[in-house]
Structure formats: structure tokens, C-alpha cells
Amino acid sequence: MDDLLQHFIVEARELTQQATDDLLALERDPDQAASMDSAFRAVHTLKGSVGLFDFAPMGLALHAAEDLLGALKERRVRTDNIVIDTLLECIGQTERWVGAIERMGQLPPDAAEEGYRLARVLREQADDGSSATSQTDPQVDLSWAEELVQSIDPAVVKGSAKHLVAIRYTPRADCFFAGDDPVALLRAVPDLMAVHLFNRDPWPPATEIDPFACNLKIEAISGAGLDAVKAVFRFVPDQVAIHEIAQSSGRSAHVAAANHGEHRGGDAVGGPRMLRVDATRIDRMADLVGEMVVAKNALAHLAGQAKDGMDAKSLSQGLLASQAAIDRLVVEMHRAVMDVRMMPMRDLFRRFPRAVRDIAGQLGKSVDLSIEGEEVEADKAVVEGLFEPLLHVLRNAIDHGAEPEQARLNSGKPSRTRILLRAQREGERVVVDVQDDGRGIDATAVRRVARERALMPEDELARMSDADAVELIFAPGFSTASAVTDLSGRGVGMDAVRSAVEKLGGQASVHTLTGQGTTIRLSLPLTLVMARVMAVRIGGELYGIPLDGVVETAFIPAARVIPVRDAEAFVLRDRTLPLVRLADLLEIPRPLELSQQGLKVVIMAVGDDLVGIAVDGFAERMDVLMRPMSGILAGMPGVMGTTLLGDGSVLMILDIPELIG
């Protein structure tokens, strides 16, 4: 895919997101000028970029959306939910098209029809509004008209009618193909007093100008009556704004208001762009590179001295000093690079208000979503990997958690279900909670479903605490939906959430109170790339175990190992823990002589239980850059990834829970 298109896809994603945010803000408060300007600008920019490619249907729809937003901005059309819905539909379709373009490099075959349909619907909205709203709405920003009036020779104005008519005509880009000639229309306007011509968008470079795409904006003042002017433009009502203006009244006020608006618009331009890295982080890296160059030069100097016959003691001292300096720099450099990979949750979270609104709308639930901790940062891979699982959790909260409004009122709750999406940093982990104040999860119902689906033996189910039983919602094959809805019935349950989160090195848990709500907690490592591992020895080999699962290490005398049928257990501080020999898991022959004295055991948390893993020896703990298994090794069970050790050998990092299975 060429660079330009890739750039477009990234930018289009951001712009559609921006437009969505702004539209949702407008839905809450239609009078927010800043959101209106920002939405307009996002759609306008997007339309402009679309024009660089052969995506005509997308351009057509966006152009209509831009015009509708323009009409909203100028208050020719009232901002209501129907209009917002239509615009969101257009933006949603644009997002899907961008997805298709990313996959296939082009729009799907049905895009032409859909584009025309969207454009038509959007234009209908713009037209409806323009005929419905008053032409003398005092809120309209008429500064452009004032400017025009000022350019008229006062002698001309005096002799004419008291009221002037201001016209702002922005012909559609494809109007020539419809047979329109905007200049001919302008000629038909009676009693012209002033004309300004503009280009609607900046002109492309001279060699790329398309003479058949209309890029004009015409502003004019007429001394004829409103009706006479309207009659001229009766076939292009969607492209023209016509206002009657009283002469020299409130001129300064209008101009002031307009300036204010422009200024605010200017601020909004500095929105997010492709580069999302804090400049200070880049500066920090540049500094570090500088220091590395110094360290390298010092080493080169040392090498020169060694060649000239430096004595061994000074040489080793010099080498050690140099190594220490480079060591420190590598650590800092690594940290700096990891910092660049850190991104705030904001980019992820801002996608949810729209999704929640859509889901709630489809399910007929009323939901208020609030978001906290947008500024919490985590590794890019973690943040991006959370979208699907969180979407599913939110969907569940709306579908299963939220009660019907009446039921909520009857139990003394506010009618709208509250859902809180919150990220917090807890040590080296980031914790994301989805908390609803819905009906909670009924442990009895969970047990019943688990029984029906034979998820576990009857007696075990009966013994379980309610809290443990509720955790069964994460079990494969579980779904509490009594009626499978369109949304939840996609064949993915909470087990998909748990496995997606575990793939990111995290855990999912649930906490619920019947009648009061449910909290789903996803706890994830801050970074994926850097893993702290403990190396252990089995036979002659070293293996790595991720340190975040290791609770402690212990030495267990052989006498304390209790055989339990064909398995083993041991007692650690009054708790009986199962003992698993890593050699057995890896199917390596056990060295018998060692186990006479005792066992070296790594105590690990697997799910909620502790397990002892017997190894031949402990080696050092280290920070490693873990590479996930790729290619034909990707499916290898029990191995998370590999890392290169200092001596060039490969350390396999084991996924103990998976090995125990």
C-alpha cells in the first residue's frame, strides 16, 4: 500500500473519531460552538483528503455531511437528535469504508449506492431545516454580509430599499455535471450591489486543477426583495444561504461575534495528528544518543590504547568503566524507547461513548457512561489490545446488567443505568474496571446454567462459594443470556474476554452484588515487551518463568512431600499446595539423586490457587526483551516467547498455567 494511502487511513481514523466525539457532545448540548466548529472542520478535512483518491462515493457522502454541518453551524437547520443520528450514520459508514480500504485498498462494491443514499438523506435534512427555520434568525453570523455591505458605495445604498439581501452561494463540486452555471445564476439576481468571489477550498497545484469540479464560493448583496432573490436560487436551495439584513444595524456586534468564533476555531486546529509522541520524550532520546556517542568514542580511545600496548590491569579497568557506562545508557535508552511506546488510555476510551450509545439504542436501554483515568498510560500493544474485550464487557453490562427503566425506578435507582469505565495504575500494572449499577449477577442462575451445560461436576458446583460461582461466567461455553440478542449472540462470551486479556499478560475478574451492580476488572501489565523473568535450571537447561506469577521460592525437604494418589503435595505454612515437577511438565527425565535431600520449589499463583513447581535449581532474575513465538513455533503450547541471553543462547520463557493446563 502506498504511503499516501496509509497516511490517509491513519488520518481518516482520527478525523472520524474527532467528528464522532464532537457529534456526541453536540447531542448533549446542541449550542456548543466549539464542538460544532470542530466537527465541521474534521468532516471538511476528511472530505478534502478523500478527494486525493478515487473514493467518490465517500467524498459525496462526506460532502453532504459537511454541507449539513455548515447549515447547522449557520443555524439554518436546527440541531436535533435526528440530524445527529444521520451524521453519525454517515461517519460510521465512513469508518467502515476506511476499514475496507485498509483491507482491500478500495471501497466495497456497494459503496456507490450507499454513498448516494447517505448523501441524499443528509441533503434532505439540510433542506428540511432551511425551509423550516426563520430567515431572520437573530443568531445567524452575518459578519460576511456586513463586510460586503461596507464595500458598497454608500450613494448606491441610499437610493435603494431599506432592506438588503445577502446571498452566500456555495455550489456543489459536481454542479457542472448537473448543468448548473453558478455565474449564470448570479447574473439572474436582480439589483446586484456587491459581489465577492472566493475559492471554497484552497486550490490544488496548478497541474492538478480539475476544471470540472466547482470550487467557487460566491457572496453577493442584492437590493431586490427576499422573494425575488429566493426565486433565482429555487433549484439549489441546499447550496445557498439567503438572509435579509437591516442596513447599518448592530454592525459592530456582529463583527465582534464573528471574530470570537474565528478565534475559537483557530484553537481547535491543533488537534491530534499522526505523531502522538511527547516531544520531550524524543528530546530525551536524542540526548541519550549523544551520550552513547561519547561512550562509544571512549571505547574507541581505549581500543587504540590497547593496540599501543597498554598494560592488562589498566585495560581491564578501562573496559569495566566503559562497560558500566554503556550498560547504564542501554538501560536508559530502553526506558526511553518504552516510554515512546506508552500511550494514554484516552485514545482507546474515546471510542466507547459512541459504541455504548449505539448498543444502548439497539437494546432500548438508557445508559450514562462516564470515563475516568483517560490519562493513564500503558504500552501501545496493551492499550490497542483492550478494545475488543472492553467492548464486549460494556456490551454485556448494557445487555445483561442494565434493567428496564421502570424496574430501576421501582428499586429506587435513577432511571438511567450508570456505567463507569475507569483505568488506574497499580504498581507495575494497569487496572481497567467496568462498573455498572445494574441488577448484578445472580449466582444461583450462574450455577443453573453451569449445571445445564455441564461445565463442572455437580458436587464441585455445590461446594463453590457464590463469588467463585460468578467467576464461571468466564468459563468457555458459558453465556447468561436467556434470549440470545443480536449483539451478545456472536458466539463470543466472557471467555473470549478472559483469553484476550490473558494473551496480553493480564487477568480478568468479576465482583458483583445482586441488585447493586457488577464490576468487571481487567488487570494488565503496563508493558508487554519488557518481561521480568526468573531463570530456573532443569537438567542442564535454563528456562525462564515470568516473575509476575512467582510468589516466592522455597526449599522443601523431601520428607515433607506427601504423595496424593498419583500426584504430590506439600505443606507450606499450614497450607497444602499441589506439587508439580517442571521436568514432568517438560517431559524431561527427572534426576533422581537430587530429590533425596529436598526440592527447590517455585511457588506460583495459577488463577486463584498457589502451586509449587519443583525445579533443579534457581538462577538469576533478569529483565528481558521477550520475543513472542512466531512462524511455525507460534502455536507451541506452554511457551510464551524467547529471549537471547548474554552468551548468545536462547532462553525459552514458559507459560506455566498453560503447561499445567
Partner 1 sequence: MSVRLEGPIIILEGVCRVEDAEPLLRWLQADPGRTVDLSGADHLHASVLQVLMALRPALKGSPRDPFIRDWVVSALADPRLIGMAPQRA
Interface positions with partner 1 (CB under 8 A): 171, 176, 180-184, 186-187, 192, 195-199, 202-209, 211-212, 214-216
8 A C-beta contact, residue 515 and residue 411: yes
Q: Residue 28, exposed/middle/buried by CB under 10 A (0-12, 13-18, 19+)?
A: exposed
CB 15 within 8 A of CB 46: yes
Nearest approach in angstroms of CB 193 to partner 1 is: 10
With respect to partner 1, which residue has the nearer C-beta, 215 or 424? 215
In single-letter form, the type of residue at position 511 comes to H
DSSP 549: G
Antiparallel, parallel or unpaired: β 530-538 and 541-546: antiparallel
- If you write DSSP's letter for every residue of 287-321 in order, what string do you get? HHHHHHHHHHHHHHHHHHHHHTT--HHHHHHHHHH
* Pick 236 or 325: Cβ nearer partner 1: 236
* CA proximity to 163, closest of 222, 241, 246, 228: 246
Tell me how far, at minimum, the Cβ of 196 lies from partner 1, in Å: 6
Tell me which residue has cell 452561494. 169
Least Cα distance to 11 among 57, 56, 44 occurs for 44
φ/ψ (deg, to 5) at 202: -55, 145
Report the nearest approach of partner 1 to the CB of residue 176 (Å): 5
Q: What's the grid cell of residue 425? A: 495504575
Cβ proximity to partner 1, 176 vs 618, nearer residue: 176
Nearer to partner 1, 194 or 359 (CB): 194
Instruction: Describe the crossing of helices 33-50 and 3-28 by its angle, rounded to 10 degrees.
Output: 160
Q: Which is nearer to partner 1, 45 or 322 (CB)?
A: 45
Cβ proximity to partner 1, 188 vs 484, nearer residue = 188
Smallest gap from Cβ 473 to partner 1, in A, equals: 59
Q: How far is the CB of 214 from partner 1 (least distance, A)?
A: 6
Task: Give just the sign of the alpha carbon dihedral 9, 10, 13, 15.
Answer: negative
Find the shortest distance in angstroms from Cβ 221 to partner 1.
Answer: 11
Q: How far is the CB of 231 from partner 1 (least distance, A)?
A: 18
**Cβ proximity to partner 1, 24 vs 242, nearer residue:** 242
CB of 203 to partner 1, least distance (A): 4
114 φ, ψ (degrees, to nearest 5): -65, -40
User: Please, what is the minimum distance in Å from the beta carbon of residue 167 to partner 1?
Assistant: 12
Which of 165, 394 has the CB closer to partner 1?
165
Give me 534's grid cell.
Answer: 526468573
Sign of the dihedral defined by the CA atoms of residues 460, 463, 464, 469, in that order: positive
Taking the C-alpha atoms of residue 493 and residue 480, their distance in angstroms, rounded to an integer, is 9
Q: Which is nearer to partner 1, 187 or 463 (CB)?
A: 187
Q: Of 233 and 570, which has the nearer Cβ to partner 1?
A: 233
Output the 3-class SS for 563-605. Answer: EECCEEEEEECCEEEEEEEHHHHCCCCCCHHHHHCEEEEEEEE
Report phi then psi at 125, rounded to 5: -65, -40
Q: In the numeric block, which cell numbers belong to residue 459?
A: 458436587
The nearest distance, CB 152 to partner 1, in angstroms, is 12
How near is the Cβ of 205 to partner 1 at its closest, in Å? 4
Q: How far is the CB of 505 from partner 1 (least distance, A)?
A: 49
Angle in degrees, 0-180, between the axes of helices 111-132 and 81-104, rounded to the nearest 10:
160
Between 214 and 472, whose beta carbon lies closer to partner 1? Answer: 214
d(CA 159, CA 157): 6
The nearer residue to partner 1, 192 or 622, going by C-beta atoms, is 192
Burial class (CB in 10 A: 0-12, 13-18, 19+), 3: exposed
